[in-house]
Structure 1
Amino acid sequence: MNSKLIKELPELVENDVISQDVASKIERYYQSKASDTPNRLFTVFGVLGSILVGLGLILILAHNWDNFSKTIKTLFAFTPLIIGQVLVGFSILKRKSQTWKEASGVFLFFAVGASIAMVSQIYNIPGNFTNYMLVWILLCTPLIYLLKSHALALLHLVYATVYACNYGYANGSKAPWLFLVLLLLLLPYYINLIKSRPKANITSIFNWLVPISLVITLGAFITKFDELIFLSYIILFGLFYNLGKLPVLHNLKLRQNGYLVLGSFGTVVLLLITSFRWVWEDVLRISSFSGKETTLVIVLFVVALGVLIYLFLKKQVNKFNLFHYIFIIMTMLFFVGLKNDVSPTVITNILLLILGINAIKIGVDKMHFGVLNYGLVIITALIFCRFFDTNMSFVIRGLLFVIVGIGFFTTNYIMLKKQKSKETKILK
């Protein structure tokens, strides 16, 4: 309940700002709203309690496991599963609060994993960790939609990422294509969150975890032609940036828009890496490439281009914002780099300089100190990188740093003066 507003209602009635009837309606409205809103802290502790109870039971059983007969072991293996199902059924049938659903769902999630592991151990059922993770995740996926559980959705995403990393990076020669299926199974739930609760904390968490998961797992799909990793990541970050500019995400604060932040930051980091000539010398040595990795890069490019075209149709593209088009430019440079390593190196450095200046311009136009300093950091990082592959004297290097430092101070000071001037005009 909005306690501050409720406390002010008697004063508003006394001064004839609102009637007593209106005040009563406002109070009833906030009371009903408060009763429908689950206690977030209680939900968090409920989920944590379920995890701790489950882990505690596993540890107790593990300590005495060898003393039990096979029948008793089997009984213990299925007991958590039965308890979890009963709790979930009780939460649904009795229409319990969301806290009940979250806690019971998390308990059942870990009960499923524990039961599979114990049955496999008791009866020596062969298998590996990746198959175990895959079966566990798929069995628990319906619970996300049945309970509308945010905690289960997060666990699904985290465990799917662990599965993809273990399957792809550990094996080396196999790509975790089923990870994409697991991600698609979660997509309807995530899209519904974005549409119904775009500014909620849980949606912001997903706005960060989904792109982070894709960044972590993308390298696992490149198993044969390592040279394509750089290209696939630059396209992925370009896709993220343009997704962050979609109408449903663009109006969010930066801390809520993981796509925009990761897309921009990832693009800059990759450009800084590729601003060194040795990267393009490796690209120059590529003789040919084909296979599923090439298909993946093509699909990523088509999707990124499709999002950019959609932004154009919705008039959400700033024509002077190079971040929108950087993935297209770098893709073309990649093919130029197959024949020549000098031109891509020079152009990449120019692109970084333009991006830095562009970020400074956006920061000044929007009076945003964070974006302004981000642009200055890009330029500083570019200068710093050039210290490693140029023969400038230490005096010149020192002077450059002094100039950049003065630039930081001057631009921030001018911005601060403008902001104060605007505030003064508004007050007048």
Structure 2
Amino acid sequence: MSRRAISWLYSELPDLIQRGILTPETGEALRNHYGPADRNALSGRKIFLWVFGVFGASLVGLGLILLFGSNWENLPRPLRAFLSLALLVSSQAISYSAIQSGGCSSARREGSAVFQSLCVGLCIALIGQTYNIPGNLASFLFSWMLLILPLAYLMQSGVVSAFYLTGITWWAGVVQIEGNQALAFWFLFALFLPYFFWIIRKDRYSWESSWLSWLICLCLSVGTGISLEKAVPGLWIVVYLGLFGCFYLAGRTWWDESDSIWARPFHAFGAGGIFAISMLLTYKGFWDSVGWYHYRYEKWIHPWAAWMDYILSLTLPFASIFLLVNCYSKLKDSCILYGIAPILGIVCYCSSSLVPSVSLALSLVVFNIYVLALGLATFRLGVLANNLTRMNGGLIILVILIGARFLDTGLGFLLRGIGFILLGTAFLAANLWVGTRKEAEG
């Protein structure tokens, strides 16, 4: 039974028991059979132990870094090497103890993994400094992230996983700033995927699955932009609409049983990303000089790395189209409007590349109409479902679009002010109406 159905059943149980249709024992048996409706929630005590366990381990690790740094220059080289390795071995012993204890708490497991991760980084830095091993920030991050990745698997640590995702994204940014290519970001990200699939296979709505999914969406969005070579101007339009389309449609396909936005990260992040990119494409500047006729030959362009741009611009949109067909086949008609964004991106990009003089204005009109349709459809679905979050999301889309067009035009302050007052009034009236209707329906 889906989570939505379980939540509905639990909401009906008190009334059914009160009417005598079910006995209290039967109601309790149903709860025991189906389990909690929202396994995404953790008890306050578990959250407290988890947060402070990780926080304490982080403080100990950072304290050791400062302690070693304050007296490091005064120690002989052999002693430096011994202390560095001893610290690493001691952290491994703590992690081994946590693994051997079997039923240890998640706080202990996470704390041990975080402490060892910090010790690995400290040991790399100290050994490198002691023996003057050449390197830079990029090589340090690359080595550090590769060495702590096994900890995510061995310790089943969500915090180390988050640390790894953040670290490889940071590494990609550093490499790109230095004028090199960050294509290895995709290899590093692929190494993490088996662990993520294992987590969501256990329970894709769990607390750990949810916040890791949010972080994956964020790091993939940033890492994609960093790793693009940008040899062909404007290709990011197709890539990003394809990426966010995949996020949204994957969320609608596999994460659609929960009503909580927190438990549906791909759905929420994908919808927000589609709106953000589509909103940018309502401006003329993003369509200027796009396409292969404006190929860049600057010295910082790596032609061999541009192949990844082409691969992403093909695989991501087609993957999103495949997911769209799959989603539609499951009678989820509401996914179509957001799901067609990659198709619109491909059509407008190709036409703007081939006949820019004709297609520029057409692309602007298409995406203005598309964003307007997104806002109206989201608002309508929210009203029909009595869902204030969705309804307000649609209103926000409409307010941003209309506000942006107000600022683009030569309207005076008086007309702009009246327009914003009308928008605000509509916003408040819609919320009041839906809120009143929800109260009337109980």
**Same fold at TM > 0.5:** yes
The C-alpha deviation readout for 1:14-57, integer Å capped at 9, x for no partner, is: xxx789xx99xx9xx99xxxxxx994422332222222112112
Matches within 5 A, 1:360-379: 360-379=379-398
Q: Distance in 2 between matches of 1:412 and 1:91?
A: 51
Matches within 5 A, 1:141-290: 141-168=149-176, 170-174=177-181, 176-225=182-231, 226-283=233-290, 286-288=293-295
Unaligned runs of 5+ in 2: 1-22, 37-43, 297-305
Q: Distance in 2 between matches of 1:419 and 1:336?
A: 46
Amino acid at match of 1:331: I
Aligned to 1:10: none
CA contact under 8 A between 1:264 and 1:323: conserved in structure 2? yes
Aligned to 1:293: 309
Note if 1:71 corresponds to 2:78: yes
Seq. identity, %: 26
Aligned to 1:93: 100
Return the offset for 1:259: 1.6
Note if 1:318 corresponds to 2:334: yes
Aligned to 1:388: 407
Change (3 A) 1:119 1:388: same
Q: Distance in 2 between matches of 1:120 and 1:133?
A: 13
More relative contact order, 1 or 2 (CA 8 Å, 6+ apart): 2
Change (3 A) 1:278 1:156: closer
Change (3 A) 1:173 1:158: closer
Whose radius of gyration is greater, 1 or 2?
Answer: 1
Amino acid at match of 2:345: M
Change (3 A) 1:384 1:149: same
CA contact under 8 A between 2:92 and 2:116: conserved in structure 1? yes
Q: Which of 18, 42, 48 in structure 2 is aligned with 1:41?
A: 48
CA contact under 8 A between 1:172 and 1:223: conserved in structure 2? no
The C-alpha deviation readout for 1:249-291, integer Å capped at 9, x for no partner, is: 4535112222222211222222222112232233379534863
Give the superposed CA RMSD. Answer: 2.7
Amino acid at match of 1:50: A
Q: Distance in 1 between matches of 2:418 and 2:292?
A: 38
Amino acid at match of 1:214: L
Amino acid at match of 1:361: R
CA contact under 8 A between 1:207 and 1:258: conserved in structure 2? yes
CA contact under 8 A between 2:61 and 2:118: conserved in structure 1? yes
Q: Look up the SS of the partner of 1:282 in the other structure.
A: coil
Aligned to 2:362: 343
Q: Distance in 2 between matches of 1:71 and 1:256?
A: 51
CA contact under 8 A between 2:321 and 2:339: conserved in structure 1? no
CA contact under 8 A between 1:244 and 1:250: conserved in structure 2? no
Aligned to 2:346: 331
The C-alpha deviation readout for 1:369-399, integer Å capped at 9, x for no partner, is: 1211221221221121112333344444344
Note if 1:418 corresponds to 2:418: no
CA contact under 8 A between 1:173 and 1:223: conserved in structure 2? no
Amino acid at match of 2:346: T
Relative to the length of structure 1, the TM-score reads 0.84
Q: Look up the SS of the partner of 2:218 in the other structure.
A: helix
Return the offset for 1:139: 1.7
Q: Distance in 2 between matches of 1:148 and 1:420?
A: 44
Q: Distance in 1 between matches of 2:413 and 2:47?
A: 56
Q: Look up the SS of the partner of 1:367 in the other structure.
A: coil
Return the offset for 1:301: 1.5
Unaligned runs of 5+ in 1: 1-16, 31-36, 424-428
Q: Distance in 1 between matches of 2:49 and 2:123?
A: 28
Amino acid at match of 1:192: W
Query: How many residues are aligned here?
Result: 392
Q: Distance in 2 between matches of 1:409 and 1:107?
A: 49
Q: Distance in 1 between matches of 2:65 and 2:339?
A: 50
The C-alpha deviation readout for 1:316-339, integer Å capped at 9, x for no partner, is: 3436x4112112112211112222
Matches within 5 A, 1:25-36: none
Aligned to 1:9: none
Q: Distance in 2 between matches of 1:224 and 1:263?
A: 22
The C-alpha deviation readout for 1:304-357, integer Å capped at 9, x for no partner, is: 2232233234333436x4112112112211112222211101111111111111
